[in-house]
Homo-oligomer: A and B are copies of this chain.
Amino acid sequence: MNVDAFLARRAERTERALADYVDAWQGVPDALREAMRYSLFAGGKRFRPALALGAAEIVSGNDDVALPAACAIEMIHTYSLIHDDLPAMDNDDLRRGKPTLHKVYGEALAILAGDALLTMAFDMLTRTKDLRVIREVAQAAGVTGMAGGQVLDLESEGREISLDELRRMHECKTGALIRVSVRSGAMLAGAREDQLAALTRFGEHLGLAFQIADDILDVVGTEATLGKPIGSDANKHKSTYPALVGLDRARDLADEAMRSAVDALNAFGPEADDFRALARFVVERQR
């Protein structure tokens, strides 16, 4: 199974839909549209959209119905990166190998472009015509999800936290949005409750595997694979899995989470092979 092809095909559709959406608005200040485009089209893997589209395809064989949710979640992910990079937050100069938005357009416009992407994501979400999807995405991005996790992350800087605290922080900060990506696609495709439950478990374990692998990459990766200086988390005295449990144990935990993700798909047949391959890919990119 070719994960790159799986991701590329879905990324292409997502990017076309995102560009159509951002360009269709009349009367947007040029600088705002340019800033939003700069970050939206900065070479992201479109991992979350691929999850939404992939889940819909597993359930119904057709992923069109999940495209607005896929785009909206990518807009929310992009806003979160823009705000995370701000001087008052992580103060990062590089993102995916390019200068961060505030380095190019200034802080004020970066704050506003992030705000605008978050806001317009909910306009996009109304196209799903599904109140449950809108509500779950808002909650995954909100006080008990991404925004809450970001606060936990801020609070953990410069102090030793426990493995439980680290897991909880990541569940909020990145796990919730990955989980809701899968759930949105499944719900929009009309998943039965047992299908939705299985895909939700897949999303939860995948999110954990993804985060542990990301932490490992920050230690062993190259600047090229990472798109930002290596060791940047350690330099900010952020707690990571390798820092808390060592590199070998972190790799075991990532493998464990990957296997649990794959196991969650047992009720599905070959239609879920892309997701199985994706789970392996997520942890193997740090080898």
Question: Which residues 76-108 of A have a CB within 8 angstroms of B?
Answer: 79, 83, 86, 88-89, 106-108
Contacts known (A144-B25, A144-B28); A119 close to B131, Cβ less than 8 A: no
Is A242 an interface position by the 8 A CB rule?
no
When the two chains form their complex, are residues B32 and A147 in contact, meaning their CB atoms are under 8 A apart?
yes
Contacts known (A108-B88, A139-B123); A147 close to B27, Cβ less than 8 A: no
**A27: which B residues are within 8 A, CB to CB?**
144, 148
Is A143 an interface position by the 8 A CB rule?
yes
A118 CA to B122 CA in the complex, in Å? 10
When the two chains form their complex, are residues B109 and A111 in contact, meaning their CB atoms are under 8 A apart?
no
Question: Which residues 115-142 of A have a CB within 8 angstroms of B?
Answer: 115-116, 118-120, 122-123, 125-126, 129, 131, 134-135, 138-139, 141-142
When the two chains form their complex, are residues A119 and B144 in contact, meaning their CB atoms are under 8 A apart?
no
A135 CA to B36 CA in the complex, in Å? 20
Contacts known (A139-B123, A148-B29); A88 close to B115, Cβ less than 8 A: no
When the two chains form their complex, are residues B122 and A154 in contact, meaning their CB atoms are under 8 A apart?
no
Binary CB contact string for chain A from 217 to 256 against chain B (1 if under 8 A, 0 otherwise): 0000000000000000000000000000000000000000
When the two chains form their complex, are residues A143 and B111 in contact, meaning their CB atoms are under 8 A apart?
no
Is A33 an interface position by the 8 A CB rule?
yes
Question: Which residues 37-56 of A have a CB within 8 angstroms of B?
Answer: none
A31 CA to B156 CA in the complex, in Å? 13
Classify the secondary structure of A's interface with B.
helix
Min CB distance, A260 to chain B, in Å? 23
Is A155 an interface position by the 8 A CB rule?
yes
Is A26 an interface position by the 8 A CB rule?
yes
Sampled A-B contacts (19; CB under 8 Å):
A26-B144, A28-B144, A29-B148, A29-B151, A31-B151, A31-B155, A32-B143, A32-B147, A83-B111, A88-B108, A89-B108, A108-B154, A112-B151, A119-B147, A120-B138, A120-B142, A122-B138, A126-B131, A129-B131
Q: Which residues of A contact B (CB under 8 A)?
A: 25-29, 31-33, 36, 79, 83, 86, 88-89, 106-109, 111-112, 114-116, 118-120, 122-123, 125-126, 129, 131, 134-135, 138-139, 141-144, 146-148, 150-152, 154-155
In the complex, besides A25-B144, A31-B155, A126-B138, 12 extra interface pairs with C-beta distance below 8 angstroms are A25-B143, A31-B151, A32-B143, A32-B147, A32-B151, A79-B115, A83-B115, A109-B154, A112-B150, A112-B151, A116-B143, A126-B134
